[in-house]
Structures are given as C-alpha cells and as structure tokens.
Structure 1
Amino acid sequence: MAESEVKMAPVEGDKEGAPQGEEKLSKNEIKRRLKAEKQRKEKELKEAKKRNEAASKEKNGAGKASAEAAEEDLDPTQYLSNRIAMVNGLKDAGHNPYPHKFSVSMTVPEFVDEFAGKCDPGQHLEDIEVSIAGRLYLKRASGAKLIFYDLKSDGVKVQIMADARYGGEDFAEVHGRLRRGDIVGVRGFPGKSRKGELSIFPRETV
C-alpha cells in the first residue's frame, strides 16, 4: 500500500506570528489602556489617602474627648492641679492665659430678658453684636466643630453655642483649653438652637 500524504487544514484565525485567540492591539489602543490604568491607580491612591486622613482626624478627636471626659472624673484637688499645670504651661510657652480685660455690653440676666422673646427656634440675629461674661458650668461637644457650654452669671444661665463657622481660625485651640469652672468673656450674636434654647453664638471667646 502506497504511503499517502496527509495535509492538515489550517485552523481558522491561526496566522503566522499571531497566537490563536490573542487580540492584536494598535499602538494608540495600548497607550489608551495604559493611561486609563494609571488614572485608576492614582484615583485609588487619592481615595485611600482621604480615608486615612479622615480616620486619623476621628481618632484624634475621640482622644481629646476622652481626655476631657476623664478630667470630669477627677476629684476637685486633682482637677485644680491639672488646671494650674495648664496655666503654667501656657506661661512657659510665652502665652498669657489672661490676655486682657473683657468689656461686656450687658449682663447674662439682661441678655436673657432682651432676647428670649425675640428669637424663634433656629433663628440667628447675626446683625446684632453683644458681649457677656460668666463662669462655665458645663461643656459638651457635638463633633469637633460644634461645642456647647452653660454660662452662668448673677444666678442666670444661658447657653453658648460655639460653631466653628463663626469662631475664627483659632477655634480648635481656644475651645480645646476651656474647661468647667473657667471664667470667660464671649462676643457674638444672639439666637436660638433648633430646639428653642436661647444661646449666644460666639465670634470671639476669651
């Protein structure tokens, strides 16, 4: 029997120099895909950086809040010692903890009498500027940019609603060192919280 020659039919798409199933890309398409991949990685890095920064701020804020909360559990002698140490630390750093005298435009009782009936809940009278002074009896924070105080003078209490939008660039520094028992002066405008509590919104606190 004579040896027969067998010829194999070429597989469809099988060409010399182009492996089966491989996509042939133009130079422009390769450049486009590389650019898209680079942009994707850069976006992921930016998002990761934002998440890390947000987590760090939250951690620092929680740490400060925890430190202040811990101070409230101290006995009066320890609490006073901490406050004296804070004042001495400011002096050592070249800061005057009692920078100047504060002039008030009205007393706390006068503030309450004047504005209690002039504001609706959530209303702010930003065109009126007043200054009052008294002792802090309570401090509570709602995040890093909104801090509430109870200010008392002459037997009358009013709320300080310190909002970072009005407090200036040194907002965090000023309110970071204020504690229960401090005597402060507040310059700002009257208004009421959404719940209807009469408050002063400080532009300056000393």
Structure 2
Amino acid sequence: MSMEINNEKMSDNLVLSDNESDNNNISDSRVFDDSKIAKLNGIRNQGLNPYPHKFEKNGDICDIQKKFDDFEKNEGLTVRTAGRLYNIRRLGKMIFADLGDQGGRIQVTLRKGNLPDEDFETFKTLVDSGDIVGVQGELFRTKRGENSISVSEFFLLSKSLCALPEKFHGLKDIETRYRKRYLDLIVNADKREIFVMRSKLISEIRRYLSDREFLEFETPILQNVYGGANARPFTTFHNCLGQKLFLRIAPELYLKRLVVGGYEKVFEICKNFRNEDIDTTHNPEFTMIEVYEAYRDYNDMMDLTESLISELVFKLTGSYEVKMGENTLSLRTPWKRISMEDALKEYAGLDVFAHSLEELKQIAIENRIEDYEKANTYGEFLALLFEGLVEDKLINPTFIYDFPVENSPLAKSHRSKEGFVERFELFLNGWELANGYSELNDPLEQEKRFEEQDKKRKLGDLEAQTIDYDFVNALGYGMPPTGGMGLGIDRLTMIFSGLESIKEVILFPQMKRED
C-alpha cells in the first residue's frame, strides 16, 4: 500500500481511550467506532500517516466515466483518482468497492497479485466504507458490463472513525439529516444535487444581472437602525462602541442610498435575519437578492423578475414545467398579472369596498383569519383577506399588484389610485416569492410613513418599521425614480427542486439545541 510516511515520531498508542480526559486529541469520542479506532492505531503502528497532506489526481470520477464512451480506445488506460469508499465487498482474493466523489461513482476492484500482498491485506483488514482513498489503476469492464478500475496502487487519504448508516435503510431520520448535514451529503447523492442546483442558481442570477450592467455591492449586516421590511430583528451588542446593534432584516435602505449616490443599477445577494417563526417556508436566517434600477418603475421590475426566473428555470432544469407535490407549475411566459382588489373578487368572490368595516371583520372571523383585530381600515382588511382567502390558490406564477398604502411604507403612492401604492408580489405554489415597488423617493412622504410605522410599533406592533432619519436625509439629496425587487433564493430553490420544506434547501438550518 502506498501511504505517506509521517516523519514525526509516533507512539504505539496515539488514540486516547474513553476514560482519558484530554479532549484535545479526539473530541466527543462517544461518536467514534471502537473497531475503526483500533484500525487507525494499527495503521499508525506501521509508521504510516492515515491523514496525508495532498494527493495528485489526473481526473475526477465523472471524467473517468466519460472515457468509457470510447471504451475501445481507452480500455487499459491508467487513471489516478480519489474519493470516498462505499459498499466494500470482500470475496476471498478479490475486493470490490464503490468509489465516489462530488461528481459520481465508479467501481474499483483489488485483486490479490495485482498489488503487493501486504497492501492487499492492509486494505482487506484496515480499510472501511467511509474512508477516503486515492487509487491508481487501469480501466476495464466486468463481465456484467460494470465500468471499473483495476487497482494497482491505493493510498489511504483519510481514515474515517464514524460508521456510515446501514446501506439499505440509509440516513432517513429528518432531524438527523438537518443536524448532521455533512452525513446527509455523504450518503444521499440526491441531497447533494439540491445544493449543486442552488449554487448554480446563484451563479446564473449574477451572470444575468452582470450581462445587463448591474453592479453587485455589499451592505452592512450589523446596523444601528433596522429597516427595509416589517419584521422583528435580532439584537446584539458592540463592546468597543458600547452600543446595541441589529442584524440586517433587509438590505433595501442601504442599496437605495447607493442609488442616491449615483449608482443606477445595483444588487446584493445576501443573508438576512428575522426573529420570527420557523415553518416549512420560513427560516430566521435566509438568503435573498435585492435589485434596484434608476428610472424604472414596478412594471419594469415585474418584467425583469419574469424574465430572470423563466430564463433560470429553463437553463437549470431544461423545462418550464416544475412538479410540486400534486401540482405541475408552468413557468412559461407571459405570467398572469392582476390587482389585489381584483384577485380577491376573482378567487374569493369578495368586493371589499362593497362591505362595511364591521362586515369585513365578520367575514374574517367566519373564515378563521388571524389578526383581524389589527385591521381598522379598508386597506388593512384588503391585505388581510387577500392573505387569508387568496394566496394559497395562486399556484402558477401570478403577479399581484397595487397594494394598500397602510402596509407598504417604502413604496411610491399610486399614480392614479388614491390609497394605493405601486407594489407587486409574485406568487408561485401559493408562496410569496418576490416583492417589488416603484420606490418612494419623496423624503417628506417617507418621513411621514416612518412616523406612522413608529406609532404602530409603540402600540405593540413588533414588526412595524422604525424611523431611519439618515435614510430620510439621504432621500433629501434626491433619488431618481427607481424600481426595486427582492427575491427569495431559498424558496426559488425549493420551486426548482420540487421541494416543500425550506430546510431541504438550506445546508445548515437553524435547529433547537438538543441540550
């Protein structure tokens, strides 16, 4: 066996037993498999290093599999690759195993006589499924047609000390999968593909916007004043400055400061933090993109959102249709656009303005809509009843536009409908996916809106926005007419992957501590 020699002096027993107290060697030894620890000691007692520093490959497994497309040319070709071992089968003088890396798997075979006897015995007795190894050998096909590597040399690169889940049942427990995502990724290749999709999605968003001359910026996560959305913040304390700070709930107000400063096309892909409930579509730490373009309005931002998502879904999935549970969503353009008022009429048969406020309250009670007691105006009832009666019926992509001013403090007043603002939300699968405005750029009106929000907050609405006077002052220097849009990356990944839990698309979702 070819293994890197460790030049440092090795003792006969480098692994502490369970009753030894030095936690600097192996932490939480309860999770380690005793038989694997014994094998690790056996390897080290041979003077070999089970954790070498480097290994040179001449191809990934995906590249090697492609060479079998022209097997007549590449039969017997020597390759050198590495990965994790799965499903080792020991059959006398033959050993079979699957070798997997980021891009795929291939069978490796070790035949006694094809490599030194001591190497064969070492693999047979000291190597386990879960170990990471490098191999060198020739390409061949078994009699059953299995693409394989006949190993002439192997290199132990990382000895695993924890047993992988049993082959046929695998890792199925959902909570364990979320808490130990690394293990989930090791044993469930389909879960790895979800995050490949997510990575490509973010890259394609950047490409799309860069092609249209948008500039990407980074704005503060720690903020003196939180804003840009109606949400409860997380708080922290800066020891040096001696002051309380808030984790960002949205980048909006800082990005609009950049528009004031002269940048006309800006965006940010960022983490936001909202101290709210956790459910299948909400996580307190989440990823979104916000985009702002000067001299545009909410109609232009609907166009941009539709173009971006439809291009993304086809590029990443090869189709405009996405399966979500029992529904098949069609993302073919053009997408439906309907005002909030008309949507309530179409999907719920309700004309809000044909009823008294007391009648609207009774309708909310009859439909078991929560928070009805907070609604005191027609605009507030319009938004409340839309959320309770319509949202979950919007399966195919639908833009809902023209929102009441009461719950849209950062959006520009509607150019022709009093009491409304130029705001839209995009719905898919009954979920809000994007939100956009013609941005409010009147500093006096913005100050008034903030003051109204502040009154609500002082009356107990913990999600109402605070007054950001610095932002108001920034608007005082003049911000051009601007269109803005925010899009949830997590939910978009859910749509593209056909998944119905946000924890499936976040690598390390927030979980309650086990202690």
- Please report the TM-score for the alignment, with normalisation by the length of structure 1: 0.54
Match of 1:172 among 121, 140, 159: 121
Find the counterpart in structure 2 of residue 95 from structure 1: 48
Match of 2:57 among 104, 118, 127: 104
Contact 2:140 2:147 in 1 (8 A): yes
What is the rounded CA distance, in whole Å, between the counterparts of 1:168 and 1:92 in structure 2?
19
Instruction: Provide closer, same or farther for how the CA distance between residues 199 and 176 of structure 1 changes in structure 2, counting only shifts above 3 A.
Output: same
Q: Deviations over 1:99-128 (max 9, x none)?
A: 5632110000000011244159xxx933x2
Instruction: Provide closer, same or farther for how the CA distance between residues 183 and 90 of structure 1 changes in structure 2, counting only shifts above 3 A.
Output: same
Find the counterpart in structure 2 of residue 195 from structure 1: 144
Give 1:202 shift.
0.5
Find the counterpart in structure 2 of residue 154 from structure 1: 102
What is the rounded CA distance, in whole Å, between the counterparts of 2:94 and 2:137 in structure 1?
15
Contact 2:106 2:147 in 1 (8 A): yes
Contact 1:119 1:191 in 2 (8 A): no
What is the rounded CA distance, in whole Å, between the counterparts of 2:111 and 2:79 in structure 1?
16
Find the counterpart in structure 1 of residue 75 from structure 2: 125
Instruction: Provide closer, same or farther for how the CA distance between residues 125 and 79 of structure 1 changes in structure 2, counting only shifts above 3 A.
Output: farther
What is the rounded CA distance, in whole Å, between the counterparts of 1:182 and 1:192 in structure 2?
24
Give 1:169 shift.
2.8
What is the rounded CA distance, in whole Å, between the counterparts of 1:100 and 1:129 in structure 2?
23
Find the counterpart in structure 1 of residue 270 from structure 2: none
The percentage of aligned residue pairs carrying the same residue is: 33
Instruction: Provide closer, same or farther for how the CA distance between residues 205 and 175 of structure 1 changes in structure 2, counting only shifts above 3 A.
Output: farther
Larger radius of gyration: 1
Amino acid at match of 2:134: G
Contact 2:90 2:124 in 1 (8 A): no
What is the rounded CA distance, in whole Å, between the counterparts of 2:144 and 2:72 in structure 1?
12
Q: Deviations over 1:53-72 (max 9, x none)?
A: xxxxxxxxxxxxxxxxxxxx
Contact 1:150 1:159 in 2 (8 A): yes
Amino acid at match of 2:75: L
Name the SS for the 1:118 alignment partner. helix
Amino acid at match of 1:167: L
What is the rounded CA distance, in whole Å, between the counterparts of 1:158 and 1:87 in structure 2?
25
Give 1:167 shift.
1.6
Question: 5+ unaligned residues in a row in structure 2: which ranges?
Answer: 1-29, 156-515
Instruction: Provide closer, same or farther for how the CA distance between residues 84 and 108 of structure 1 changes in structure 2, counting only shifts above 3 A.
Output: same
Count of matched residue pairs: 125
Question: Residue 139 in 1 paired to residue 88 in 2?
Answer: yes
Name the SS for the 1:141 alignment partner. strand
- Please report the TM-score for the alignment, with normalisation by the length of structure 2: 0.23
Question: Residue 83 in 1 paired to residue 36 in 2?
Answer: yes
Q: Deviations over 1:124-175 (max 9, x none)?
A: 933x2110100011100222x1110011111411000111131223222233
